[in-house]
Structure 1
Amino acid sequence: MSPSPSWRQLRKITVTQLFLPKRLEETKSLRMKKVKELMSFVSESCERGEAVDIARASFVTSLNIVLNALFSIDFASHDSKESHDYHDIVTCYAQVSGKPNIANFFPFLGFLDLQGTRKEIKAVIDRLFRVFQGIIDDRSRERLSQTKPKDVSTIDLLDYLLDQGTNVKVMKHLFLDLFAAGTDTNSVTVEWAMAELLPKPKKMVKVQEEIRQVIGENRVVQESDVTSLPYLQAVVKETMRLHPPAPFLLPHKAESDVKIFDFFVPKNAQVLVNVWAIGRDPNVWDNLMEFEPERFLGREIDVKGTDFELTPFGAGRRICPGMPLALKTVPLLLASLLHSFDWKLQNGVVPEDLDMDEAFGSILHKANPLCAVPVKKPLVSTISPDI
């Protein structure tokens, strides 16, 4: 469906204010600060011998990275109840919005809300809208009391939208999209990568040795290091092949009747692109159910929308505008976790028993969260070979 002028304008604003290379460079120190906070939390868990919920820990970092860009505030800390609440909200939003709905097949029944989907999603959205409204109100009062213009370097997306006179309802819907799309997608990718690596010690050793050789012992991982870590990049690609964060991307709508190969798609039909199935297509991938980052080494295939066998962010005009931020955040988080610590499964769980079931929804969560115990890295790796 042709996008409306307002959609085009909002997309342009998010790209220019959040995702352009210049803007990402300006916010690099913020991302490094949030990763440092994550590593402090993991270090404290290591000292106590406690397991880390990988998805929740990564979510808090992603949440604060994204929402600092929107509002210049932290939403949660790693040991706060609020962090769990926000994670549960986004997880619920993904599950409900991805739930099969009978009204999609029989639109005339939509007003009945037979499955309670509309009621569930409204409760989640209303809760987030109240949070956003409070932030908008606070910022508006703050701006009224200012005696001099705000420094350009401190202007965030909310300031920009208020300067443009953007409707508050439009702002809240935009923030909802950015909140949902820019936080949980990153954290589930980190979780799936860790879940794939933990049962495969040889691959874990390989990526850790690469990271530790490039980074060394006495400094932290930087975003600029990722280009020197080809195996880490391959791990991220292979994770996105097997576990794309948005398995059906976002819905599209046909603007006219069209025939694609032997399939007729009528005008106004909702179209879902099943990138989960594409990533497991036996006509494209060898050993398709195996986690093999090596398949991407030496191959000119990327996730940026030009190689259609691997399009976790979509492609073309509707490609995810947040892709540049995701491709900085996910490798940085994963490399930081693997550089500073070795990891083991909690409570004596053996790799063969690690649950890899998926939870259905608009975002591909693990059915059961991955909890792993960080261990201070030894001078010489003691991880055993593949079983």
Structure 2
Amino acid sequence: MMFAVVCIALSLSLLYWWTNKARCKSLGESLQHHRRLPPGPDGLPVIGSILHMVWNRPVYRWVHRLLEEMNTDILCLRFGAVHVVVVTSPEIAREVLRKNDAVFASRPVSFTSESFSLGYKGVTMSPYGEQWKKMRRVLTREILSPSMERLFQRRREEEADHLIRFVYSRCSSGSGAPAANDDGGLVNIRYVAQHFCANTIRTLMFGRRHLGSGDEPILSSFAGPEEEAHLSALLTLVGYVFNFTISDYIPAWIGLDIDGQNKVVKGVMKTLNRLHDPIIQGRIHEWSAGLVGRSGGDDDDDNDNRDQTSTCCRDFLDVLVSLRDSEGLPLLSPDEIRAATVEIQAASIDNPSNALEWVLAEMMNRPEVMQKAISELDRVVGKERLVQESDIPRLNYLKSCIREAFRLHPYHAFNLPHVAMEDTTLSGYLVPKGSHVLVSRLELGRNTDTWDAPLEFRPERHMAPDVLLAEPDLRFVSFSTGRRGCPGMSLGSTVTMMLFARLLHGFTWSMPPGLVHPIQLKESATDLALAEPLCLKPQPRLPEHIYPST
């Protein structure tokens, strides 16, 4: 089978090469400067290192092995006619995301990104241009603005209460018997963290955490079948975006779907459309029929008018549907609304939930770190109420713990790729127009030139009078920066911290009976998540009346 794939690859590559003369000419001009390209393997004629990419899965591990073997902070790979440049030092990362930010402001086109964004109607996947600018303005000014974050604070607090309520239901009763479960009162931290993030963003987006047609999910399960399907679809889609697929570099091969990725992506989008479309279509009908409040004009300079408009909106979807242009017509098309709902939700789950699982796993092996964090909570919040969003600015040690989890345990090995819109240089090397540039989250956070003992979990290294989860100097990546930076940094920080602080403040966590200590901090064979879901046993640590009633 592999031999057949290789033969097809070679023959189709040659055909692709000869039928794209203009592109070949451009590549040939770049190859005249071959000695100025960053170091990297030579690769085969025409197809470059595509076969190595196919044989070495997961690809990010192969790429980082090459970086180590070649002892370089910048690497150039060629897949077909595309140069892929990988950078691993903060200095070069700042060149990409600051000094040359305007040059690297675009994204590659691919089957997955086009499907994800419903034909590049959104922000995250769209190439640089007017459509991207339009949707970026909508997100930053209308959805993820400080006023909107304040407006929907109560909805987030309700989800944080629901989190506490669910974990409390898993705790043993006073007699020692497990309550409402038959697994000894264990909590799957990954399950809880991912569903908390998914519930929160669904509530903000649609005004509801529940997507099914029946009753709300029962307390003991935290999520029903439709919520499970929704979460799985979002995480699968995030995992497949720019996943080193052959057709990402040789678009003529998209229809062949040699690695089966296109089939998976189609299935995921079918699930998301099935769950999202009835809600979106119903909301569009409500607004067009005048069943809810209408916005005024779309005056970008009229902040007061925008705030007044937002108060009649129940959730993010209302805002997207209600926006009007200068002529009073809908500002966004149905597909633009659909793309925005997918992108906002997909960006809200993976990093917070992964950081929470890793930080608790590290803290279980470092009891002194756990105790220091709990002492801070007791000092700042006390034991007569639950921690709230307003407490976060004073929880510097907890924020340092999350920063350390972001540094040491990123969910993704690379940032989403940036595309060079013209020939430029990085660290003195040529980066030809059309190159894909990847910033290594993994290597930035574990760089021995930047961090002392980089593989050790040390929250103290981040302590300061005012700790932020963002990292402006790009010594690691928590939220990306620049034109393609994360517009939801404030919301993402709040959700992450409330998840962490509520679980640590409300409960004492212990190892499952019979589990050998310490916890094995081993990464999965296929990605950077913990190899096995973290399961811990909670016990309430606050007075009984503090916990939300069930």
Same fold (TM over 0.5): yes
Please point out which of 294, 318, 322 is paired with 2:460. 294
Give the drift of 1:95: 2.9
Match of 2:502 in 1: 336
Please point out which of 13, 18, 28 is paired with 2:143. 18
What are structure 1's unaligned runs of at least 5 residues? 380-387
AA aligned to 1:131 is L
Match of 1:90 in 2: 234
Give the 5 Å matches for 1:268-283.
Answer: 268-283=434-449
1:271 match: secondary structure: strand
Q: Cα 1:86–1:359, aligned 2, differ >3 Å: closer, same or farther?
A: farther
Deviations 1:189-218 (A, max 9, x none): 211211221121111111111112221111
Within the alignment, does 1:119 sit opposite 2:263 as a pair?
A: yes
Give the drift of 1:28: 1.1
Please point out which of 133, 136, 153 is paired with 2:277. 133
Match of 2:321 in 1: 162
Match of 1:382 in 2: none
CA contact 1:245–1:312 (8 Å) conserved in 2: no
CA contact 1:342–1:377 (8 Å) conserved in 2: yes
2:383 match: secondary structure: coil
CA contact 2:195–2:223 (8 Å) conserved in 1: no
Q: Cα 1:148–1:337, aligned 2, differ >3 Å: closer, same or farther?
A: closer
CA contact 1:305–1:319 (8 Å) conserved in 2: no
Please point out which of 498, 511, 536 is paired with 1:372. 536
Deviations 1:316-340 (A, max 9, x none): 2211011110111111110110011
Number of residues paired by the alignment?
377
Give the drift of 1:347: 4.3
CA contact 2:403–2:478 (8 Å) conserved in 1: no
Please point out which of 306, 311, 316 is paired with 1:153. 311
Give the drift of 1:368: 2.1
Q: Which moved more, 1:170-179 or 1:303-312?
A: 303-312
Identity of aligned residues (%): 29
Deviations 1:143-183 (A, max 9, x none): 35555636852413322332332211222122111111112
Give the drift of 1:40: 0.3
Structure 2 CA distance, aligned partners of 1:332 and 1:260? 39
Within the alignment, does 1:241 sit opposite 2:407 as a pair?
A: yes
CA contact 2:230–2:272 (8 Å) conserved in 1: no
Please point out which of 53, 67, 80 is paired with 2:202. 67
Match of 1:201 in 2: 367
2:348 match: secondary structure: helix
Q: Cα 1:359–1:79, aligned 2, differ >3 Å: closer, same or farther?
A: same
Q: Cα 1:27–1:359, aligned 2, differ >3 Å: closer, same or farther?
A: farther
Q: CA RMSD in A?
A: 2.4
AA aligned to 2:503 is L
Answer with 1 or 2: which has the greater Rg: 2
TM-score between the two structures when normalised by the length of structure 2 = 0.64
Match of 1:385 in 2: none
AA aligned to 2:321 is L
Deviations 1:300-323 (A, max 9, x none): 875435212022211122110111
Structure 2 CA distance, aligned partners of 1:298 and 1:149? 45
Q: Cα 1:378–1:74, aligned 2, differ >3 Å: closer, same or farther?
A: closer
AA aligned to 1:256 is E
Structure 2 CA distance, aligned partners of 1:100 and 1:169? 27
Match of 2:377 in 1: 211
Please point out which of 408, 427, 439 is paired with 1:261. 427
CA contact 1:254–1:270 (8 Å) conserved in 2: yes
Give the drift of 1:75: 3.2
Match of 1:175 in 2: 341
Give the drift of 1:299: 8.0
TM-score between the two structures when normalised by the length of structure 1 = 0.89
CA contact 1:95–1:360 (8 Å) conserved in 2: no
Give the drift of 1:365: 3.0
Q: Which moved more, 1:84-93 or 1:144-153?
A: 144-153
Please point out which of 189, 195, 199 is paired with 1:54. 189
AA aligned to 1:114 is I
Higher RCO (C-alpha 8 Å, min separation 6): 1
Deviations 1:219-273 (A, max 9, x none): 0101121121111011011010011234312221111112212433221112111
Deviations 1:26-49 (A, max 9, x none): 111111110000000000011334
Q: Which moved more, 1:19-28 or 1:84-93?
A: 84-93
CA contact 1:246–1:312 (8 Å) conserved in 2: no
Q: Which moved more, 1:296-305 or 1:71-80?
A: 296-305
1:318 match: secondary structure: coil
Structure 1 CA distance, aligned partners of 2:320 and 2:158? 26
Give the structure with the larger helix fraction.
1
CA contact 1:305–1:315 (8 Å) conserved in 2: no
Structure 1 CA distance, aligned partners of 2:529 and 2:480? 19
Q: Cα 1:179–1:148, aligned 2, differ >3 Å: closer, same or farther?
A: closer
Q: Which moved more, 1:285-294 or 1:188-197?
A: 188-197
Q: Cα 1:287–1:14, aligned 2, differ >3 Å: closer, same or farther?
A: same
CA contact 2:230–2:275 (8 Å) conserved in 1: no
AA aligned to 1:158 is L
